[in-house]
């Protein structure tokens, strides 16, 4: 997932970084690190074999927040995939 998404400050949405198109056969996301800028709240996160799912709430209208995910695979040596999105907050 790469791109720019919008949300209202009062909305609480789930987003995901889908690495399925990058993984090779029998490879899975074993661990991950999410980096979220100050000012928006990430209150839940989890992963499947192919994706990292996280929930965001809050934010200040007019601000854009950068979120980055580094997914680390179960392969040896482990592969590190990095993806990012921007969330722009606006009043609906």
Instruction: Report whether pLDDT(1) > 70.
Output: no
Cβ atoms 64, 81 nearer than 8 A: no
CB 86 within 8 A of CB 4: yes
The answer to whether 80 and 72 have CB atoms below 8 angstroms apart is yes
Q: Could you read off the pLDDT of 57-76 as tens digits, one per residue? A: 999 999 999 999 999 999 99
What is the phi/psi pair of residue 22, to 5°?
A: -105, -25
pTM of the complete model: 0.90
Give the 3-state secondary structure of residue 78: coil
């Amino acid at each position: 997932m790469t791109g720019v998404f919008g949300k209202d400050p009062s909305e609480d949405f789930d987003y995901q970084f889908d690495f399925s198109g990058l993984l090779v056969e029998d490879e899975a996301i074993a661990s991950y690190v999410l980096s979220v800028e100050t000012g928006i709240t990430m209150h839940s996160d989890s992963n499947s074999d192919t994706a990292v799912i996280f929930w965001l709430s809050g934010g200040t209208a007019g601000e854009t927040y950068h979120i980055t995910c580094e997914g680390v695979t179960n392969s040896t040596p482990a592969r590190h995939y990095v993806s990012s999105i921007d969330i722009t907050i606006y009043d609906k």
